[in-house]
Amino acid sequence: MRIVVARDYLELSKKAANMLASQIILKPNSVLGLATGATPIGTYSELVRLYKEETISFCDIITFNLDEYYGLDVDNKQSYSYFMKEHLFHHINIKKENIHIPNGKAQDIFLECKRYEAAIKDAGGIDMQLLGIGRNGHIGFNEPDVKFEAMTHLVTLDEDTIGANSRFFKDKEQVPRQAISMGIKTIMHSRKILLLANGIEKADMIYEMINGKITPELPASVLQLHPDVTVILDGNAASALKIYEIP
């Protein structure tokens, strides 16, 4: 696992965007795994900037998002589909047919999960997967006590996640209780993983993810077993690691 500590959120976002940009430059038809949440917003705006200055093009890029709330329509402002359009897809030259996000309104969830896994396989697998980490150690919506062997599946959100995500909704009651998420196995099959974390509330989880035991109670700990993980942190998220001076 490579650990990179950035001065602040802006520098973290620039470093993450540069890593994604170099993946795109080296392989213009890369398959990217994308994440939502507050953490990657700065990375997406840097990617948009790099696209606008013609450093990168998304014309042959294929994307798969990690997850989507169950029951939310693509036009719902709280859906991850909407989030991705707002922060990235509307501002770049990606082809609509190359964008993949689980369908939160699918009639048959089991089939939808199977379809999603098959689409990832047909695309040749994920070259680089972007991840955030929840305060409870989740990646995607793989909550504590996850089954490491799970592929894309319907998950019930943890109380902590519902609380954390309520900041994006009018109130906690409006946060969906379920979501469709890539499983740990799906994530572990990605060739490269780029995990981002900023803020002091992530510091303990980051310490445990890197130094703790590998356990389904802390889903992100499984990344210790992946051969190509880069973790980019701001000084606060890195503060429990101690070996780093906070810049």
Summarize as ranges the residues that interact with ligand PGA (CB under 6 A): 37-39, 132-134
Greatest Cα pair distance, the chain, in angstroms, is 51
Tokens read off for 44: 């997406």
Provide, rounded to whole angstroms, the least separation between the CB of residue 62 and ligand PGA.
22
Handedness of CA 203, 208, 210, 216 (dihedral sign): negative
Residues 6+ apart with CB under 8 A from 227: none
Minimum Å gap between C-beta 138 and ligand PGA is 6
Q: Tell me the catalytic residues.
A: 67, 136, 138, 143
Beta-strand pair 99-100/62-65: parallel
Shortest reach from residue 26's CB to ligand PGA, in Å: 26
Q: How far apart are the C-alpha atoms of 76 and 98, rounded to whole Å? A: 21
Residue 23 or 198 having the CB closest to ligand PGA: 198
Q: Which helix (H) or strand (E) holds 179?
A: strand 178-181
Choose between 50 and 134: whose C-beta lies nearer to ligand PGA. 134
Cβ atoms < 10 Å from Cβ of 85: 16
Give me the least distance between CB of 56 and ligand PGA, in Å please: 23
Given the complex with ligand PGA, which of 115 and 135 has the nearer CB atom? 135
Residues 6+ apart with CB under 8 A from 112: 102, 103, 106, 180
